[in-house]
A and B are shown apart, each in its own frame.
Chain A
Amino acid sequence: MKRRIRLILTWTALSAFAVAFIYPFVWLLSASFKPRGEVFDHRILPETFTFDNYIKVWQEAPLALWMFNTLLVTVLAAVAVTITSAMVAWGFAYFRFPGRGALFGVVLATMMLPGAVTMIPVFLIWNSLGMVGTLTPLWAQNLFGSAFYIFLLRQFFLGLPREPFEAAKIDGANNWKIFTRIALPLCKPAVVVTLLFEFQAAWTDLMRPLIYLRDSSTFTVPRGLKALLDQFGFGGEWHWEIVMTASVITTIPMIILFFLGQKHFVKGIATTGSKG
């Protein structure tokens, strides 16, 4: 009996929290279908249901172009960082060479350096290459791998048994073949986690687009959303309905991504913490 009461209490508390976590989404979504004057009433079902906000956002902002820019940057960033990080991680995990431990120590040390320290000189590099204002600085650095993913993938590679690799070697496979044909397929879960994490990071990033993008036609979705807020919010009279509707549109791709990769996301995040 006591056990039962405790279970009911647990479920009630969980449900209350779940409502608190989900409600802002529901409210935002419902507000995006409300006409201007009713945005702030707290009905879940709009009294007057309208698609006007979506049409208006589409007219006011080049959302399709922003989406395309973001998708381009995001895919390039995620694919680039995954391939090169996996290569580097494999280099550290499989081969023995002098200075391996020290070099890997440097990889770990770079994770601790705050981004603010390198932010300005890196901007100056892209500036001297004439790339400021283009999308390239948002992803091209990923061609060189990233410390966090190198760490994550190396841990995974170290957990693999060595026999298949030695056998392939005896069969005459070269290092590249061993990596691409055997190691990479075996480490698919870690590769998926890396892709998902970087996709999310690139899609939601605001600071780099603020630094590198100048023209509205090159904006990514978060940068565009900020511009909409500046224009339709702080710029004068508030047009909450436009800002809200744009927020909904920005968030939806992430929600879809989450439901597609939920298992991997949760697993990946859970293992991130246990490495501490």
Chain B
Amino acid sequence: MSPSPSKVPRRRSTRFVETRAALLFISPWLIGFFIFTAWPVINSAYLSLTDYDVINDPNFIGFDNYVTLFEDPKVGLALRNTFIFMVMSVPTQLVVSLGLALLLNAATRASGFFRTAFFLPKMTPPVAVGILLLMLFNGQNGLINSFLGIFGIEGPAWTTDPDWVKPGLVLMSLWTVGASVVIILAALRGVPQELYDSALVDGAGWWRRTLRITVPMISPTLFFLFIVDSINALQSFTEAYTAFFGSGNTTYSNDAALFYAIYLFQQAFEFLHMGYASALAWLLFIVIMAITVVQILVTRRFVHYEGERP
């Protein structure tokens, strides 16, 4: 091929053309990023240093909101509630969804039907789940207590007794583990059969194979679910808000269900404390980051990645 004189500038121009085309394709995201992410992040940081009620201009007050935050007993309460809920719900959800996925994996025939059965609740709108919670866990005549009654157990007043509100919410959250079951099941199907075959030759029982082969092999998926579930638990809102809080009427509000996201929402959109709520949002961001980093550091050693050096 003889070098054409126009080759060098032409190549540069194709590169320019390609970059321009790429920028055109990603422009919706670029524009959206500046309007709905970058600017709001900056504005939120600024608002957190102000007193702002939407009607009057923001009034700069420095770090007062952050000081208030540490003195506000409701912040401590909401943080504690949210943390307790996370610690109770995430491991239970993981264990239950792992158990269901293992069962599904063991019964290969008709697993489609059961998978559908377990996934269906995930399609129920969270508001409806909140309402179902109120009815199923109703202390006097709810289904759960009637069921317990069969065994002669007198169920607690789940929705009104502060000690039982969070356990009720945790149990209700188990109803929607379907998505996790599907994710774990997909991971289980990916575990190579040879591993089980050689373990069988060695005479390892079911329990041993599950503990020594299955769980380590799917640990990246379990780790992913653990992190994502935790982040979601820290932000949970709809079910608890539906069941225990409502439009301006606080007579039925229940301190045991005051999750952090609910308190933030109330401060911002019910009391119109936009500055204070922005500070609350930043504290939530820091808490989520801190908890996630700690979880990653602590659990990483238990996660087995294929092809990784020991």
Contact = CB atoms under 8 A, between A and B. Distances in A.
Contacts of B178: 21
A25 B116 CA distance: 13
B143 A96 contact: no
B31 interface: yes
Interface residues of B, number: 97
Interface in B145-180: 146, 175, 178-180
B225 interface: yes
Given A88-B28, A121-B40, A244-B131, A14 B22 contact: no
Contact of B246 (A23, A28, A229, A272): A229
Interface residues of A, number: 91
B159 to A, nearest CB: 11
B125 A203 contact: yes
Contacts of B39: 121
Contacts of B241: 206
Contacts of A143: 28, 32
Contacts of A90: 25
Interface of chain B, main secondary structure? helix
Give the one of B29, B35, B265 with max A CB within 10 A.
B29
Interface stretch (B79-87, B103-111, B192-200): B103-111
Interface of B: 18-19, 21-26, 28-29, 31-33, 35-37, 39-41, 43-44, 47, 54, 100, 103-104, 106-107, 113-121, 123-128, 131-132, 134-136, 138, 141-143, 146, 175, 178-180, 182-187, 190, 206, 220-221, 223-225, 227-228, 231, 235, 237-238, 241-242, 246-247, 249, 251-252, 261, 264-265, 268-269, 274, 277-278, 280-282, 284-285, 288
13 contacts: A22-B117, A88-B28, A91-B26, A95-B19, A96-B22, A114-B235, A114-B288, A120-B278, A124-B54, A144-B31, A207-B237, A207-B238, A274-B187
Closest 10 CB pairs of A and B: A144-B32, A276-B224, A91-B25, A273-B183, A95-B22, A270-B186, A121-B40, A91-B26, A118-B40, A204-B125
